[in-house]
Amino acid sequence: MSHHRKFFIDGAWVEPDGRETLDVINPATEEVVTAIALGQASDVDKAVAAARRAFESFSLTTREERLALMERVLECYRARADDLVEAVMSEMGAPLKLARSAQVPVGASHISNTRKALENFEFSEERNKGLIVREPIGVCALITPWNWPLNQIAAKVAPALATGCTVVLKPSEIAPLSAIIFAEIMEEAGVPPGVFNLVNGTGPDVGQVMAGHKEVDMVSFTGSTRAGIIVAKTAADTVKRVCQELGGKSPNIVLEDADFEKAVAGGVRSCFQNSGQSCDAPTRMLVPAARRDEALEIARKAALTLKVGDPRAEDTDLGPVVSRQQYDKIQGLIETAISEGATVAVGGPGRPDGINHGYYVKPTVFGHVDNAMTIAREEVFGPVLSVLSYQSEEEAIAIANDTPFGLAAYVQSSDLDHARKVAARLRAGNVTINDPDWDTAIPFGGYKQSGNGREFADWGMEDFLEIKGIRGYTA
Share of the chain above pLDDT 90, in %: 99
Binning pLDDT at 50, 70 and 90, where does residue 162 land? very high
CA-nearest of 220, 284, 275, 212 to 248 is 284
pLDDT (tens digit per residue) in 196-214: 999 999 999 999 999 999 9
pLDDT (tens digit per residue) in 111-158: 999 999 999 999 999 999 999 999 999 999 999 999 999 999 999 999
Radius of gyration of the chain (CA): 23
Fold of 251-438: Aldehyde Dehydrogenase; Chain A, domain 2 (3.40.309)
Share of the chain above pLDDT 70, in %: 100
Q: What is the mean pLDDT of residues 363-390?
A: 98
| Whole-number Å distance between alpha carbons of 85 and 243 | 28
pTM passes above 0.95: yes
What HEC string does the chain produce? CCCCCCEEECCEEECCCCCCEEEEEECCCCEEEEEEECCCHHHHHHHHHHHHHHHHHHCCCCHHHHHHHHHHHHHHHHHCHHHHHHHHHHHHCCCHHHHHHHHCHHHHHHHHHHHHHHHCCCCEEEECCEEEEEEECCEEEEECCCCCHHHHHHHHHHHHHHHCCEEEEECCCCCCHHHHHHHHHHHHCCCCCCCEEECCCCHHHHHHHHHHCCCCCEEEEECCHHHHHHHHHHHHCCCCEEEEECCCCCEEEECCCCCHHHHHHHHHHHHHHHHHCCCCCCCEEEEEHHHHHHHHHHHHHHHHCCCECCCCCCCCCECCCCCHHHHHHHHHHHHHHHHCCCEEEECCCCCCCCCCCCCCCCCEEEECCCCCCHHHHCCCCCCEEEEEEECCHHHHHHHHHCCCEECEEEEECCCHHHHHHHHCCCCCCEEEECCCCCCCCCCECCEECCEECCECHHHHHHCCEEEEEECCCCC
Q: What is the mean pLDDT of residues 448-463?
A: 97
For residue 469, list its beta bridge partners.
132
CATH class of 7-246+450-470: alpha beta
Binning pLDDT at 50, 70 and 90, where does residue 475 land? confident
Taking 70 as the threshold, does the pLDDT of residue 311 lie above it? yes
pLDDT (tens digit per residue) in 66-77: 999 999 999 999
pLDDT for 2 equals 85
pLDDT for 36 equals 98
| Whole-number Å distance between alpha carbons of 223 and 137 | 22
State phi, psi for 89 to the nearest 5 degrees: -65, -40
pLDDT (tens digit per residue) in 2-42: 899 999 999 999 999 999 999 999 999 999 999 999 999 99
Angle formed at CA 468 by CA 466 and CA 474, multiple of 5 degrees: 155
| Whole-number Å distance between alpha carbons of 453 and 245 | 8
Q: Is the dihedral of CA 326, 330, 331, 336 positive or negative?
A: positive
Judge whether 151 and 179 are in contact, CB under 8 Å.
no
| Whole-number Å distance between alpha carbons of 144 and 178 | 12
Angle formed at CA 410 by CA 406 and CA 414, multiple of 5 degrees: 155
pLDDT for 352 equals 97
Residue numbers annotated as active site: 245, 279
What value does the mean pLDDT of the chain take? 97
Taking 90 as the threshold, does the pLDDT of residue 432 lie above it? yes
For the chain, residues classed under CATH 3.40.605.10 are 7-246+450-470
pLDDT (tens digit per residue) in 241-293: 999 999 999 999 999 999 999 999 999 999 999 999 999 999 999 999 999 99
Tell me the CA distances in angstroms from 145 to 48, 306, 471, one per residue in order: 20, 25, 42
CA-nearest of 87, 103, 107 to 36 is 87
Judge whether 379 and 147 are in contact, CB under 8 Å.
no
Taking 80 as the threshold, does the pLDDT of residue 1 lie above it? no
Amino acid in the structure at residue 108: A
pLDDT (tens digit per residue) in 320-349: 999 999 999 999 999 999 999 999 999 999
| Whole-number Å distance between alpha carbons of 472 and 475 | 7
